[in-house]
Amino acid sequence: MDDSVSNPNAEVTLLKEQPFLSRNVIIALCLMALICLFYGISEYRSFVMHEVFASSTARQMYLTGDHVVPYHAGHPRLRKPPLIYWMISGSAHLMGEFNEFSARFPSAVCAVLLSALMGLWAGKWYGRSVGYLTAFVQATCYYAILWSRKAEVDMCLTLLNVAALYLIATQPVRQTWKQGFLRWTMIFSLMGLSTLAKFYYGPAFVFAIAGVFWLIQGRWKDVVHTINPVGWILWLAPFGIWAWVVSTKRPNAWEVWQQETIGRALGVFGSTPLWFYVLDIPFITLPWTPLWLLELKNSWRSAWNENDARERFLWVWFVVPLIVVTLQPDKHTNYAMTFVPVLSILAGRRLSACLVQDRWLSFQWSTRQAVSLTILNVFGGITLSVLVLKQWPEARWTAIFSVMVVGVGCSTVAWLFRLQRQKAGVLSLLVCYTAFVIIFFGEIQPLRDPKRNEVTFNQQVREKFPEEDIIGYKMGVVGSYYLGPHYWDFSQRMSPKDFREQIAGKHSVIVVVKNDQVQELKQYGTITPIMKANEDEKYHKTEKSKQPACWELIPRHSLQMETPPNTAKRQ
């Protein structure tokens, strides 16, 4: 594949003739992208389930110094490889403390690096203007903004896989094994990290894309590059050593890993409709979905009518993983993150054609169009504010900001286009979008947090008992992080015997339990209420029976020797 731009001098000339992407504009785009990726990453909402698993396990590593066997809420956490735990723990060590920001910081950094990589890739193939705009598109699409705020492994995994694909896609044609040795050593090294992130997921996609592309292009001789002993060691050794050490300490580890790999592929964890990604992909690539949809036809023609190898690689990169994840019974949005970055290149190309090549900057809106859009924008802003106030009455300032952004901001854009100041209009539109991201993640998302009340209560319990052991009785995973490191979780899958063993020999224990489980808790001993969650329905919609409460449990010593009749009946 020819990885060079056909006429780099033409690009430089074009940028001089069309000053839209001036230095100040590029700086403004970078600032807006960083705001979209970093703003409110710690406060926008409480940890969701997978974040709790990752953060509480990483905190245990951070506090104990044991980075081999992951532990979550007092139990081994073997379902996932350790890379995300190591990253979060390393972030906490770097910042000197463990909190929501240090837990989510690695994902935000990976999102920035992924945007830069996509910009480098697009710039190498299609010119600098496409590169800058592709990087901006990648940083400001919905899935990048969302997953940069999650203490999960998916953004890191996407970065590793895309970096490997970049090295494959830009490999010169007819490169000898010796010439490509270093490149493929790097590719295998990236796959080693990818395996530590999510088992076989990354290597399966990366090598499948490379194999199909080589087959289509008749480059079957490139398979020789995979015969790289050093690369194979760098790929398999890190996970192999970790897995061997863990399995010697936890003999059931291989059984868990088999279920997580083969079992998940066979749909053990559930199934979703075949058309899941048909609606999911256009949604997660907003607001740039219309641009890449418009560019699909041009890309298809270049790939299959004009035999453009670069465009063919983009199509193989998108289609092969899409078919695999579509045929898989258990589908999730994060499974698509390895191949949706290709759409950022298509959107960046279309945006460059519109802005830099003067397709959008040469027309003037009429007064009638500007007035119509102003009325529409003001009406939209008012409607949005009414909906916000109705759903969250306490969000008065959020409603005002919504009116300003949607109504005033977009109306200003309309009149700038009327005055034929399209450059200022486009920048104002991007500023409005950035302001909306700030409002959405800074104001609206915290109000939409369904676990906020429970999290606040758990934090209060932790502050009251900072050094004491706390037991969560069928509380779910939220308490695993917010109730602190001295927390042990008794889940639905565990037996009463496990609970009795945990409280055996203790004079009293602190137990957090939901109201509908209190009666069941009484079978283990005498309970005394300590504190209950806030029941202000203004801030949450949780049923009273599902509200958490904190109790002191004084175990009955007889329960350590015999099973209560009602418990035996349930079993």
Question: Which pLDDT belongs to residue 294?
Answer: 94
* Structure-block tokens of residue 357: 């090549």
| Contact in structure between 515 and 527 (CB atoms under 8 Å) | no
Q: How far is CA 258 from CA 89, 199, 265, 329, 512, in A?
A: 26, 10, 10, 17, 33
What whole-number distance in Å separates Cα of residue 179 and Cα of residue 548? 63
Tell me how far apart the alpha carbons of residues 542 and 329 are, in angstroms, rounded to a whole number. Answer: 32
Can you give the pTM of this predicted structure? 0.88
Q: Do 347 and 292 touch, CB atoms closer than 8 A?
A: yes
CA distance 345 to 353: 12
pLDDT (tens digit, 0 to 9) for every residue of the chain, 571 residues total?
444 444 444 444 333 434 578 888 899 999 999 999 999 898 888 898 899 999 999 999 999 998 999 998 888 888 899 999 999 999 999 999 999 999 999 999 999 999 999 999 999 999 999 999 999 999 999 999 999 999 999 999 999 999 999 999 999 998 999 999 999 999 999 999 999 999 988 999 999 999 999 999 999 999 999 999 999 999 999 999 999 999 998 888 888 888 777 766 666 556 678 888 999 999 999 999 999 999 999 999 999 999 999 999 999 999 999 999 998 887 889 899 999 999 999 999 999 888 875 555 556 677 887 888 888 877 877 887 787 777 777 677 777 777 777 777 778 888 887 787 777 888 888 888 898 898 888 888 887 788 888 888 999 999 999 889 999 998 878 778 999 899 999 988 888 888 988 888 888 999 999 888 898 888 898 999 999 887 654 444 556 777 889 999 998 764 444 444 444 333 3
What type of residue is 210? Answer: A
pLDDT of res. 363? 61
User: What is the pLDDT at residue 565?
Assistant: 44
Helical (H) or strand (E) element with 328: none
**Positive or negative: CA dihedral 124, 127, 131, 132:** positive
How confident is the model at residue 540, as a pLDDT? 47
Task: Say what the pLDDT of residue 44 is.
Answer: 87
- 370's tokens: 């500007």
H-helix segments, 328-451: 341-355, 367-391, 396-402, 410-418, 422-439, 445-448
Q: Where are the beta strands (DSSP E) in 372-485?
A: 470-473
Give yes or no for a contact between 274 and 326, defined as CB atoms under 8 angstroms apart.
Answer: yes
* Cβ contact 325:335 at 8 Å: yes
